A and B are shown apart, each in its own frame.
Chain A
Amino acid sequence: MRILLVEDDMVLGQAVRDQLVADGHSVDWTTRVASASDAVRAAIFDLVLLDLMLPDGRGLDFLKGRRVGGDVTPVVILTARDQISDRIAGLDAGADDYMVKPFDLKELSARVRAVGRRYSGNPNPLVTHGDLEIDLAGRTVRRGGKVVALTQREWALFEAFVERPNALLSKTQLEERLYSFDAEIESNTIEVYIARLRKKVGAETIETVRGMGYRLGSPGRRP
């Protein structure tokens, strides 16, 4: 995706930019509202990451201005203010999501992926795998027509398998997916989550490749 990052802190901005580039996105980084306004006029972005407190104005006003002008580009707010009223104001102004600093870069990657998918215009966000219907945009899974409720982390793992149905995913790769600000990833965390996933989406849906990792199994038989 082409992402516009608006962040005035150089040290943080650089790390965020490098993370997004490592995820395979192309990133334009500005530190001012004025240059952000120029950038959105000059190019079309798939996503804007917007800091709310900028030296030359409020990010919120920039966002409102864009929305009033009919711009529907997804916006994720990055804010250092933790007041819930600020977050509500951001969402009310038309933000798609928000993250409170300090945030985890892996979580940022996941949010960017999620928002991007919501707007990717993928004509077919529904993936069918055996008796499973997976809606990548709505983040829902149906098994035999019934909705299966997955937790955030279960979904994050399952999504990794569905996105790359033929790939062999190592335990380390999967751990990368389990961003969490507070959680310590312990040595058996991945095993615990794989076990839970198998219970919910069918044991044969996820295969273990001994010593290597996991991959999406052959489709379960339709009932």
Chain B
Amino acid sequence: MAILWLAAATVAGLVLRHEIDEVFDSALQEVAQRVLPLAYAEVLARDSDEPQRVPPVGPHREYITYVVRDAAGTVLLQSSDADRSAIPKDLTHGFATTATLRTYTEAAVQGTILVTTAEDLAHRGAAVRKAVLALLWPLAALVPVAVAGVWLAVWLTLRPVLEFSSGLEARGRGNLSAVSIEGLPDEILPLADAVNALIARLRSALEAERGFTANSAHELRTPIAAALAQTQRLVAELADEPRRERARAIEQSLRRLSRLSEKLLQLAKAEGGGLVSEHPAPLGPVLRLIVEELDRQFDCSERLDVAIPPDGGPALDLDPDAFAVLARNLVENAVRHGDPDGSVRIRLAADRFEVTNGGPAVPADRLSALTRPFERGPTRAAGSGLGLAIAAAICEGAGLTLDLASPVPGGSDGFRATVRFARATGSGRARS
């Protein structure tokens, strides 16, 4: 762009120079032709042999000097500054250029009188330079303005496109709302509409899947609940002990089945995506409810050391149900497998959620295996072996990082699970 401008300016400069030369040359010629009759009359009327100087009218710098000579080269008449220019002799009729001068010679009276007008080339150069400069500086000033203007115009046009594309990237993490097409150039609109249509289809597919998970959970839970309740009634109503024992055995099996199906449903949901909600909500109230439920279940209120920020904690775009499952599994894991008399420290902060429990350290080589389904640490407590796998799946699906540390940093034993809310870049793809 700027190069084109410069080339155009160069061409303009060259044309200008040519034009200026022409103008100046015609001035030289004009002066010579004007001076000639005057000089002729002067020479005829004169009686001295001294060359005569035509005094200047006022003090000024002569740009054009002239000299009138006869055929022998004797100077008959010259302008006031003519000496300084040292106009060469033996010039033939017409234009000539010496190292410093541009001259024009006109002869008259059969070559007996020669008028030569001369102009200093330096003056001509200066004139051209000034003209070119006058041509260039507005250009130089205009080029940055023009470049800035073009850039601004392009940016304004492309901004909606960039916004659309970043909005699209953000949709990668399970947020499947339509992308705004406001201000998009008409050429891109059909593409944007097609993308939004695709997102809508994806969304309905995902919602159907979620609905299916919720319904299948419901369909599975109700018969288990019915069987368990009936069995418990049976235990209560049977009078003879051996049969009661048998009914109790069924009851225990049903509970195990219920726990396992619960965990498998959670794992399926965690791996199914849809862990990001479109409306960020504070996690504190959810965590409070989960702690209350776990206390009911394990009677562990005295072991739980909970700190939730008074403002309700960070508002994350993590789906509250997903966070509930995540928190429940991490705390349940600590309560079940940690030191039974030790406390479980639960911390919700702006950047992380942390659960720490006492108990023997988990060897480093076992630590990474704990997030695989049905892996169990050094514990004698009952459990499905799915809790940490579910937590890891939720973190991966929502683009969070889960760190397991044992022993607890700065200690010699214990176990700590940390969920960091700062999203790892480029992670958290919506998996379907």
Is B299 located at the chain interface by the 8 A CB criterion? yes
Residues of chain A contacted by B222 (CB below 8 angstroms):
9, 12, 80, 101
Is A85 located at the chain interface by the 8 A CB criterion? yes
Is A135 located at the chain interface by the 8 A CB criterion? no
Q: Which residue of A lies closest to B281 (CB)?
A: A85
Q: Is the CB of A11 within 8 A of B224?
A: no
Is A182 located at the chain interface by the 8 A CB criterion? yes
A85 to B255, CA, bound (A): 24
Q: Is the CB of B228 within 8 A of A102?
A: yes
Tell me the smallest distance from the CB of B231 to a CB of chain A, in Å. Answer: 8
Q: Which residues of chain A (98-152) have a CB below 8 Å from chain B?
A: 100-107, 149, 151-152
Q: Which residue of A lies closest to B255 (CB)?
A: A181
Is B225 located at the chain interface by the 8 A CB criterion? yes
Is B258 located at the chain interface by the 8 A CB criterion? yes
**Binary per-residue interface labels of chain A (64-106) against chain B in the complex, 1 for a CB within 8 Å, 0 otherwise:** 0000000000000000111111011000000000001111111
Q: Is the CB of A151 within 8 A of B299?
A: yes
Known: A9-B226, A12-B229. A182 touches B298 (CB 8 A): yes
Q: Is the CB of A152 within 8 A of B299?
A: yes
B interface secondary structure, majority: helix
Q: Is the CB of B225 within 8 A of A102?
A: yes
Q: Is the CB of A81 within 8 A of B214?
A: yes
Tell me the smallest distance from the CB of B106 to a CB of chain A, in Å. Answer: 106
Q: Is the CB of B225 within 8 A of A80?
A: yes
Interface segment, B49-57, B90-98, B285-293, B363-371? B285-293
Is B320 located at the chain interface by the 8 A CB criterion? yes
Q: Which residue of A lies closest to B321 (CB)?
A: A83
Q: Is the CB of B221 within 8 A of A19?
A: no
Q: Is the CB of B289 within 8 A of A12?
A: no
Q: Which of A22, A80, A180 contacts B221 (CB 8 A)?
A: A80
A106 to B229, CA, bound (A): 10
Q: Is the CB of B301 within 8 A of A12?
A: no
Q: Is the CB of B299 within 8 A of A16?
A: no
Known: A80-B217, A87-B289. A106 touches B232 (CB 8 A): yes
Residues of chain A contacted by B259 (CB below 8 angstroms):
182
Residues of chain B contacted by A11 (CB below 8 angstroms):
223, 226-227, 229-230
Tell me the smallest distance from the CB of A109 to a CB of chain B, in Å. Answer: 10
Known: A18-B233, A151-B301. A82 touches B217 (CB 8 A): yes
Tell me the smallest distance from the CB of A58 to a CB of chain B, in Å. Answer: 13
Is B236 located at the chain interface by the 8 A CB criterion? yes
Q: Is the CB of B226 within 8 A of A12?
A: yes
Tally of chain A residues near chain B (CB < 8 A): 35
A15 to B224, CA, bound (A): 13
Is B405 located at the chain interface by the 8 A CB criterion? no
A84 to B321, CA, bound (A): 5
Residues of chain B contacted by A22 (CB below 8 angstroms):
236
Tell me the smallest distance from the CB of B80 to a CB of chain A, in Å. Answer: 104
Is A190 located at the chain interface by the 8 A CB criterion? no
Q: Is the CB of A15 within 8 A of B302?
A: no
Is B317 located at the chain interface by the 8 A CB criterion? no
Q: Which residues of chain B (295-326) have a CB below 8 Å from chain A?
A: 295-302, 320-321, 324
Tally of chain B residues near chain A (CB < 8 A): 38
A151 to B214, CA, bound (A): 33
Known: A19-B232, A104-B232. A85 touches B321 (CB 8 A): yes
Q: Is the CB of B320 within 8 A of A80?
A: no
A80 to B219, CA, bound (A): 8
A32 to B391, CA, bound (A): 38
Is A183 located at the chain interface by the 8 A CB criterion? yes
Known: A80-B221, A82-B217. A15 touches B233 (CB 8 A): yes
A9 to B221, CA, bound (A): 11
Q: Is the CB of B324 within 8 A of A84?
A: yes
Known: A82-B262, A153-B299, A183-B298. A102 touches B289 (CB 8 A): no
Residues of chain A contacted by B298 (CB below 8 angstroms):
180, 182-183
Residues of chain B contacted by A160 (CB below 8 angstroms):
none
Most buried by B among A12, A14, A84, A106: A84
Most buried by A among B229, B254, B255, B300: B229
Known: A181-B297, A182-B298. A102 touches B321 (CB 8 A): no
Tell me the smallest distance from the CB of A7 to a CB of chain B, in Å. Answer: 10
Q: Is the CB of A102 within 8 A of B229?
A: yes
Q: Is the CB of A88 within 8 A of B217?
A: no
Q: Which residues of chain A (1-56) have a CB below 8 Å from chain B?
A: 9, 11-12, 14-16, 18-19, 22, 53
Is B218 located at the chain interface by the 8 A CB criterion? yes
Q: Which residue of B lies closest to A51 (CB)?
A: B222
A85 to B227, CA, bound (A): 26
Q: Is the CB of A180 within 8 A of B299?
A: yes
Tell me the smallest distance from the CB of A200 to a CB of chain B, in Å. Answer: 11
A22 to B232, CA, bound (A): 12
Q: What are 16 A-B pairs with beta-carbon distances under 8 A?
A: A11-B227, A19-B229, A19-B236, A81-B218, A82-B262, A84-B320, A84-B324, A85-B320, A88-B289, A102-B224, A105-B229, A149-B301, A151-B299, A181-B255, A182-B382, A183-B298
13 new A-B contacts, CB < 8 A, other than A12-B222, A84-B289, are: A9-B222, A9-B225, A12-B226, A15-B232, A80-B221, A84-B320, A88-B320, A100-B221, A102-B224, A151-B302, A182-B259, A182-B382, A183-B298
Closest 8 CB pairs of A and B: A102-B225, A15-B229, A101-B225, A84-B324, A12-B226, A11-B226, A80-B221, A80-B218
